[in-house]
Amino acid sequence: MSTALVTDLTIFVLALLVGIEVIGKVPATLHTPLMSATNSIHGIVLAGALLIGVTAHNPVGYVLAFIAAVFAAANVVGGYVVTGRMLKMFRKKAAPPPASRGQVSQEGLESLNGHKGLRGLAGKVGIGRAQS
Amino acid sequence: MTGFTTNVQLIYVLAAACFVIGLHLMNSPATARRGNQVSIAGMVIAGVATLILLIHDGTVTATGWIVLIAGALIGSAVGLYAGQTIQMTAIPQLVSMFNSVGGGAAALVAIYGYYQVEHTGGVLGSTTVFTVLDVIIGSVTFSGSIIAAGKLQGVIGGQPIIFKGSRLLNLVLAVVAIGTAAYMLTTASLPALLIVVLASLGFGVMMVLPIGGADMPVVISMLNAFTGTAVAMAGFVIGNWALIVAGALVGASGGILTKLMADAMNRSLVNIIVGGFGTGDTAVAIGGQVDAPVRSIAADDAAIQLAYASKVIIVPGYGLAAAQAQHGVAELGKILEDRGIEVSYAIHPVAGRMPGHMNVLLAEANVPYPQLVEMDDINPEFARTDVALVIGANDVTNPAARRPGNEISGMPILDVDQAKSIIVIKRSMGHGYAGLENELYFNPKTSMYFADAKKAMSELSSAVKTLVA
């Protein structure tokens, strides 16, 4: 086994562990955008597809490179576009006026995962709205 | 590795770091958008690094450039169009298609690598084991994900498709793929490569066909993990760290989600893949309460219950998505909230057709995400809830799951039956996916409101409005 291969394997195992650690913290609310985001991340295979071009000097190589490039590019671009679209929809309060949207997302950042605290908040918001 | 390519590897490491940070920022809805942007930045960095490599190498022919650029542009256009126009209810299909093309591209990288070795008469290196793994996993993902997308889209029947000898065929395909792959490790042979590709493609199709529509959250997650693994394998083949790291991250993510989904159904992965669930012949009466009469209710009565409640929990299921009723539900929820009623949504992990699907649908309908509450957090709340409104959810509310001896025994459920009163919106008394009667419907506290979810929502909303005005 070559040194390069050992390095590659080390990187793979560590990345796997980092992935488990990081993704285990993602709340269920965001699981669909998470999967969509990881979807676009595996579009990195586009780099592999493009690198086929380095040695592709015959029709077989060109065809394989072309198909791989189409697949991978669709994967990357589509994945990021749809993830962005989804994440834009997640709001803390129902349809805040456009000007204050930025501030809304700033307040109470630390409690975003704590549904218990927020349920009370949501209730208060609801009552406040009822009076208007 | 020359000094130059080593330096480019460092740029790839930067890209990989961006992916990790991007995923880390997804641990809260408030930072998730920034996470996506960081991830995009990583991808751009990786793209630039690849271009630098291609240009520096100087061996890409003119035709090669045209092929690569044309391919990338066409793919980007398709991805952009699909990403911008897709309906939120159809996200699972799209994710599945992205899994498919990602796995396909990874397989092609390995196929080309192997072809190149054979073609130039080179020696099979120590990475050949990764090459064959990439070909197998990538091909299985490619065809399996297409079938999954077809099932989700309704092009292929959502029911499990099992024919005589299908499991044997599955086994044969697996043996052929793995056996031939083992042969490829020692001898460079293009026919062997072709056999592995075809057997793997066939196995992917046969693996997903017998799996029913409601098991799709598990299948999609698993195929997502497969794609990641295939991409990591492609990284080994071409010795690229960015692919290895990105692939490992996706593999970890898909693996975690697969486990979460399978746990939420109380079923093992093997049990799901082997299938046979919801084939129609498993319907069983569980005796006892199921002979009790069912109480049906009209919109006006349901509206009275809702309008004078102080706490309402809405329990959405796939029926809601199928009827495109998410906007209607959100509107009703808002009317109730405006009356000062505490409204929250109870989200079972497998509600919808992919992990977290229901959250996206409700977010699209402008429901603030703090109101979307996970199963473990909402279950203690049902006891002090006046009305639980169940829309298009069935098995995940069936109290029979608490007893041993039936299809859904042990499955974690939403404790809807603890609420003071329950309204179930359903088109008919049809069975859920597991083919079981839902005991909840025969509970004396339950009223059945027979209607299409979308229609029911607009009727309820206007009834509540009339009542309040």
Tell me: do B110 and B212 sit in the same domain: yes
Residue A100 maps to a domain: no
Residues B409 and B314 in one domain: yes
**pLDDT surpasses 50 at B101:** yes
Among B85, B101, B130, the domain boundary falls at B85
Q: Would you list the DSSP string of B86-131? A: --GGGHHHHHHHHHHHHHHHHHHHHHHHHHHHHHTT----TTHHHH
Write the residue in B12, B29, B63 that is nearest to A112 by C-beta.
B29
Q: B53 and B172 in one domain?
A: no
Q: Kindly tell me if the per-residue pLDDT of B295 is higher than 90.
A: no
List the structure tokens of B9. Answer: 């590897």
Q: Which domain holds residue A40?
A: 29-91
Q: Is residue B74 domain-shared with residue B108, that is, in the same domain? A: no
Q: Which structural domain range is residue B421 located in?
A: 288-468
C-alpha–C-alpha distance, residues B463 and B377, integer Å: 31
Q: Which residue of B has its CA nearest to A32?
A: B356
Please tell me if residue A15 touches chain B, with a CB cutoff of 8 Å. yes
Tens-digit pLDDT profile for residues B322-353 = 888 889 999 999 999 999 999 999 999 888 88
8 Å CB contact between B456 and B299: yes
Q: Both B381 and B462 in a single domain?
A: yes
- Report the CATH number at residue B451: 3.40.50.1220
Out of A44-58, A66-80, B140-154, B270-284, which region has the weakest mean confidence (pLDDT)? B270-284
Specify the 3-state DSSP secondary structure of A57.
Answer: coil
CA count, 13 A, side-chain hemisphere, B382: 23
| Number of separate domains in chain A | 1
Q: Are residues B303 and B442 in the same domain?
A: yes
Boundary-marking domain end, from B279, B303, B337: B279
- Segment 76-115 of chain A within 8 Å of chain B by CB: 76-95, 105-106, 109, 112-113, 115
Strand ranges of the sheet holding B421-426, from the earlier edge strand across to the other edge: B372-374, B342-347, B311-316, B387-391, B421-426, B446-450
What CA–CA distance (Å, rounded) separates B450 from B317? 16
Within-domain flag for A33: yes
Q: Is B142 found in the same domain as B109? A: yes
- Beta carbons of A38 and B228 less than 8 Å apart: yes
Distance, CA of B303 to CA of B285 (rounded, Å): 32
A121 lies within 8 A of chain B by CB = yes
Number of domain units in chain B: 3
From the list B134, B215, B395, B417, the catalytic residue is B395
Q: Is the pLDDT of residue B248 over 50?
A: yes
In a domain, A107, yes or no: no
Same domain as B248, residue B119: yes
Q: Across the A/B interface, how many CB contacts are shorter than 8 Å?
A: 440
Quote the minimal CA–CA distance from A96 to chain B in Å.
Answer: 10
Q: Is residue A65 part of a domain?
A: yes
Chain B stretch 135-194, residues whose beta carbon is closer than 8 A to a beta carbon of chain A: none
Residues of B in contact with A38 (CB under 8 A): 23, 224, 228, 249-250, 253-254
Mean pLDDT of B89-103: 94
Q: How many CA atoms lie within 13 A of A28 on its CB side?
A: 26
Pair (B161, B247) in one structural domain: yes
B248 with B371, same domain? no
pLDDT at B243: 94
User: Does the annotation mark B395 as catalytic?
Assistant: yes
Classify residue A1: in a domain, yes or no. no
Cα of A39 to nearest chain B Cα, Å:
7
Regarding pTM above 0.80, the answer is: yes
Same domain (yes/no): B64, B148: no
In this structure, the answer to whether residues B231 and B266 fall within a common structural domain is yes
Average model confidence (pLDDT) for chain B? Answer: 88
ipTM score for this prediction: 0.87
Q: Is the pLDDT of residue A109 over 60?
A: no
